[in-house]
Amino acid sequence: MAECTLVEAVRLAMGRAMTDDERVVLFGEDVGLNGGVFRASDGLQARFGDSRVRDTPLSEALLVGMAIGLGAQGMRPIAEIQFAGFSYPALDQLANHASRLRNRTRGRLSAPIVLRVPYGGGIGAPEHHSESPEAMFAHVPGLRVVVPSSPARAYGLLLAAIADPDPVVFFEPRRLYRAISEEVEDDGRPIPLDRCITLREGSDLTLVSWGAALVETLSAADRLAEQGVSAEVIDVATLKPLDLETILESVGRTGRCIIVHEAPRAGGVGAEIAAGLAEAGLDRLVAPVERVTGWDTIVPFPRLEAHYLPSEARILDAAQRSLAYA
C-alpha cells in the first residue's frame, strides 16, 4: 500500500483500469508526452504506448466526440479537459449525444465514457481556470456527475466511473491534487457511485459538502466539537444522481442542515439539496437550511480569491444561526 496524493491516486486508478481492461484508452490535450497539465497521466504513455494514451488537438468538442464514438463501439475511453472553464465547447457533445445515446438507440448503443475535469479555485488561477460548473452538467439527463474529495475516494470512484455503462463527468478538485496524501491500496476495488459518504457522525447538525470545500467543512466540524456541538459531515461524492436519502436520514436525527460548496449560490447543487429537504424532510427540520457557497460572480483574481471561497468562519456563522433556533 503506497501513500498517494489525489493526483497520484487518479493516475494509479487509470493505470489499474488500463492494465485490467484493454478497452480502456486515455486521450486529451498534452496527456501523453507531457503527462497532462497537472501530470495526472505522467508515465502512462511510456507504460501503455501511444495507441492507448494519445495527445489530441486543442479541441474539447473533438475529444469528447471521439470518446462517444469509441464508447459506442465497445471501448472504455477516458478523456481529459485541462480546466473546467474549457469544458463548455464539449457540452454540445455531452448534452446532445453522450447523454442521449442509450435512449436514442433504445439501448442498442451507449456511451461508457469518463470525462475528467480538473475544477475549482484555491490555486491562484484566474477566471475560467478556477470555475465550479458542476451544476450545469448535473442538469443534463443521462449524465452522472462525480466529485472525489480524497486520494482513496478518487481512486475508488474513478474506477467505478470507468466501469459505468453510461457517461460520467468526473470533476477533480485541483486544490486537493497535492494538498493531502494518504495510503491508497491499488487493489482495483471501486467505490460505489450514487451514494453519499458519511465522513463524521454527529447529532446536533448536518454539514453537507463535496470536493475541496470539505477541507473547510471538516475544519469547521472540529471547531464546533470544541464548543460542544456534534456535527455530522456528509460527502455527497455523486452529485447526479443525488443520494438524498442519506441526507434526509441524517437531518432526521440532527434537525439542521448546512450545505457548503464552491460554486455560485444561484442554481447550484446546494439549492437542489435544499429543495429536496423542503419537499421530503420539512417536518424533520427545526431550523432553515443554510447554504455557504461561492458568490454569484466570476471567480476573482488571486488577491480576492479567499473572499470568494467558502471559509471556516462563514460555515461557523451559518452553524450558529442554525443552532439559535430552538
Give tens-digit pLDDT for 88-100: 999 999 999 999 9
Domains of the chain: residue spans and CATH: 2-184 (3.40.50.970), 197-323 (3.40.50.920)
Q: Is the pLDDT of residue 326 over 80?
A: no
In the chain, where does DSSP find H-type helix? 6-20, 44-48, 60-72, 91-93, 101-104, 134-138, 151-163, 213-226, 244-254, 269-280, 302-308, 312-323
What does DSSP say about strands 53-55 and 114-119: parallel, antiparallel, or unpaired?
unpaired
The whole-angstrom separation of Cα 157 and Cα 10 is: 10
| Interval 269-313: pLDDT, tens | 999 999 999 999 999 999 999 999 999 999 998 899 999 999 999
- Sorting pLDDT into bands at 50, 70 and 90, what band is 124? confident
pLDDT one-digit tens code per residue, 180-211: 999 999 999 999 999 999 999 999 999 999 99
| HSE, side-chain direction, 13 A CA sphere, residue 271 | 12
Pairing of strands 114-119, 144-146: unpaired
Give residue 125's pLDDT. Answer: 84
168-173 vs 181-184, strand pairing mode: unpaired
Residue 302, helix vs strand vs coil: helix
Residue 75: phi and psi, rounded to 5, are: -80, 170
Catalytic pick from 97, 128, 129, 139?
A: 129
Cα–Cα dist 290/251, whole Å: 13
If you average pLDDT over residues 2-31, what whole number do you get?
A: 97
Q: What is the pLDDT of residue 54?
A: 97
Does residue 139 carry a catalytic annotation? no
pTM of the entire structure? 0.97
Which range (120-129, 188-197, 250-259, 260-269) has the least confidence?
120-129
Rg of the chain (C-alpha set):
19
Which pLDDT does position 129 carry in this prediction?
85
Q: What is the pLDDT of residue 307?
A: 94
Q: Give the N- to C-terminal CA distance of the chain in Å, as an integer.
A: 48
- 3-class DSSP assignment, residue 48: helix
